[in-house]
Amino acid sequence: MTDTTADAPPPLFARPDGDVDVSFEFFPPKTERMNEKLWASIEKLEPLHPRFVSVTYGAGGSTRERTHATVRRIVEETGLTPAAHLTCVGASRDEVQDIARDYWEAGVRHIVALRGDPPEGERFAPHPQGYANAAELVAGLKQVADFDISVAAYPECHPEALSFEADLDHLLRKIDAGASRAISQFFFDPAPFFRLRDALAARGREVELVPGILPVSNVAQTKKFAGLCGAQIPAWMEARFEGLDDNPKARELVAATIAAELCGQLYAGGVRHFHFYTLNRANLSYAICRLLGIQPGPIA
């Protein structure tokens, strides 16, 4: 009998099958065309059986409604586990708790609790009757129901943080308030992620720290995102994309390779769950998951 295992391709990095989990983030669509693109992406990624899929949340009323509608549709039409974003921006505590109750009644058990960003050009100011920060929001959600709560972490520090230690203290307050895990902002150098993980362990917190992975399809757009969240774009990465503005296929190959290399470095350091910021585009995240050895399976 022929040993067909000898013909199997080598894995991207050494790992037993089935020990990598992924999750995906989407944003609510503004137009019907964007809605079609979102659902095409969800349909492509669902067979990879992610742990959960998160849906972002804006401060405006119409944005909130789009988030709610997207989450409800995920619950009703897919087998995915949705994680609904909630923020402190522009809402009272009662309003936020009402939204949380609605989610619980709809079967949503996972919330991504964030302070939220103010309108561009403004500084964050809490609602007079609202939550002042994400730690307060986490505690308030736990009063509503026993949600599984994820919060944000910043390996390279939140841009408003006075220091790494001050940022770490704030993350610890969110964990102590009841968060189950922290999902990091995107980054391209694994060293700050491992520094944050080690700092949490040194403080005696055994909380899951999930790396946020952003597959780069648009360097200019990524620079804008990085400026908002304090992430650094290394010079070597810019050099890899240089001259590829009019070559989308080569650009996608470079993007997938960079993200897969980062995941491999994180895996070697013990990471087993990767959270992908999809920007509602499935192809890059799907390709990277396949490089990680994740095989699509039947949808229940």
Which of the following is catalytic: 25, 46, 136, 252?
Answer: 25
Do the Cβ atoms of 215 and 256 come closer than 8 Å? yes
Give all strands (DSSP E) within the chain, no chain letters: 21-26, 53-55, 82-87, 110-114, 148-153, 181-186, 208-213, 273-277
Do the Cβ atoms of 144 and 100 come closer than 8 Å? yes
End-to-end CA gap in the chain: 35
> Is the C-alpha dihedral spanning 114, 117, 123, 127 positive or negative?
negative
CA–CA separation, 255 and 261 (whole Å):
10
**25 is annotated as an active-site residue:** yes
Cα-Cα-Cα-Cα dihedral of 276, 216, 71, 90, to 10°? 110
Q: Which are the catalytic amino acids?
A: 25
